[in-house]
Amino acid sequence: MADSVKIDCNVEIPLRDGVKLRADIYRPDDDASHPVLLARLPYNKDLSLISLSLLSPIRAARRGYIVVIQDTRGRFKSEGQFSLFAGEAEDGYDTVAWCAAQPWSNGQVGMYGASYFGATQWLTATANPPALKAIVPTITSSDYYEGWTYQGGAFQQGFIQFWTAGMATETLTRLPDAPAEARSKLYSSIFGIDKAYRGLPLVDFPPATVPGLIDHYREWLKHPALDDYWEQVRIESKYEQIEVAALHIGGWYDIFLEGTLRNYVGMRTRGKSARARQRQRLVVGPWLHGLFDRVVGEVDFGPAVLLDAVDLGGLHLRWFDHCLRDQPDTGAPVRIFVMGANIWRNETEWPLARAVATRYYLTSGGSANGAHGNGQLLSQMPLREASDTFFYDPERPVPTWGGCTLMPGAQSAGPRDQRPVEERDDILVYTSVPLTEPTEVTGPVEAIIYAATDGRDTDFTAKLVAVAPDGRALNLCDGIVRARYRMSLSRAELLEPGKIYEYRIQLGSTSYLFAPGYRIRLEVSSSNFPRFNRNLNTGGDFATESIGRPAVQRVFHGGPRASCVVLPVVPQG
């Protein structure tokens, strides 16, 4: 344990192309060599709190680690041209090599950090710098197409426009030749984001019309399918070449939850070596993106989920002690927070092998529209064939009301009472009878929906909801599928109007204990705006079109078209 810490600010780190990145270095005030912990971020090393809230560099330095916190290329104190994700593997490799070669380093390097800091970790790991031994990627993704920019083929408009506009405030300072209206366009979009969300076409999002400001936004819109453009930086395609040990930290209501889970499973099963495969750990709490609090959305999960109680900083240090100092690993392979019961539980795997895929089937008397309709969820397949119809108007989309997202607004994220939106007639609501015994749902959830539309393209959404005896309806997880990508995210295939298709909607994962008296509910609709961009139902280019048409949607259930939700039910007792 070091008595004092020395801090060197704005230390230049040269890269292979001559660009210099700057970092602050926290180290024990001694002459010994130590392992290095590196965090690379685009959000300003001088101000960013997310890197400090999880693991304080002062705490780590007092523990005997060197901590290097670096502005990435083209951001704040660092030189170069910034481009999201591009070049992070090479820059990370060079920075790790520099850290390992310093006289105060013992040659062992770990990386840590949340969100985009997690992306810099994974992209560095794909380049396999020899000194990089362990990482702690927190609330981050496995794919910068699916789960970051798009989901189920739909554009994550709410997050992407909010995030890229916020990032552009620093970029603007590096554009001396930007037109006078550039600042006005940027700040009017940030402070008037609700109005900006309604604007069409998407390609004309005001900051995107300023050359050099958010060019990546327009580029992402040009690649609405999972093509070679995305494969270059796709972590999921590269597990076999990644050698590092990893402690994965996620939240049930984090926008990147599924990426965190896929990274754990992918490295556990496909990592480059047996050692890498064995050195994978997973922790998932009930948190939002970047908010590790007891109150999440409208639910208080209790003091056990607070940062002080979980001690994520201590968890980091124990992991690095294990990986960089060969200390024993005393942690469970998987630790999850079971909502509803509101307890932490250790597991040996993810997903849980003992969970039983259990189908709950949709049925109705032909009018499941809204919470006051006659939609039901049954544990047995209904033999009678029936259907429900709703009218989806892109001018009147279903508003985002909680869930795994990141954007401004009081109703934007987390568990929230769904009753206000369930009054709408363009949401089909299917609800089970009250449960007579505790029912735990832990794992990935999927809805299988048989549906037809009169459009050439459309969206279908599904949301799993826990309904309390008093009627409160809390969302657990949800998903979307863009019809043209129903067969493959890599290939668009438009619809034949009126034809019935099977849609498999991935709702993501959850862990929730339904108490006796609770009911299970599934909502089905065609929009979740502005979290996802509105499908205009034309089959055209969603980035450039601005005029849409309403669509008549019909959902089938019973008989050979047994629409259902598949829940991973964990046996009790």
Active site residues: 115, 254, 289
Q: Are 258 and 507 in contact (CB under 8 A)?
A: no
Q: Quick one: how many helices (H) and strands (E) in the chain?
A: 13, 25
Q: How many CB atoms lie within 10 A of CB 232?
A: 12
Continuous segment of H or E residues that includes residue 504: strand 501-514
Q: Are 567 and 559 in contact (CB under 8 A)?
A: no
For β-strands 564-570 and 356-363, DSSP reports them as: antiparallel
- Within 374-426, residue ranges assigned H as helices are none
Backbone dihedral region for residue 487 (phi beyond 0: left; psi -120 to 50: alpha; all else: beta)? alpha
Q: How far apart are the first and last CA of the chain?
A: 45
Cis peptide before 224 (omega within 30 of 0): no
Exposed / middle / buried, residue 182 (Cβ in 10 Å: 0-12, 13-18, 19+): buried
Residue type, 347: E
Whats the size of the chain, residue-wise? Answer: 573
Residue 14 exposure: Cα atoms within 13 Å on the Cβ side = 5
Q: Are 72 and 43 in contact (CB under 8 A)?
A: no
Residue identified by tokens 């593997």 is: 89
Give the orientation angle of helix 157-172 with respect to helix 181-191, to 10 degrees.
140
Distance CA 331, CA 81 (A): 41
Residue 174: closest CA among 85, 75, 86, 83: 75
Distance CA 381, CA 94 (A): 58
Residue identified by tokens 């279908």 is: 460
Q: Are 222 and 252 in contact (CB under 8 A)?
A: no
Tokens of 492: 């668009």
What does each C-alpha distance from 411 to 300, 386, 415, 506, 530 come to in angstroms? Answer: 16, 34, 9, 22, 11
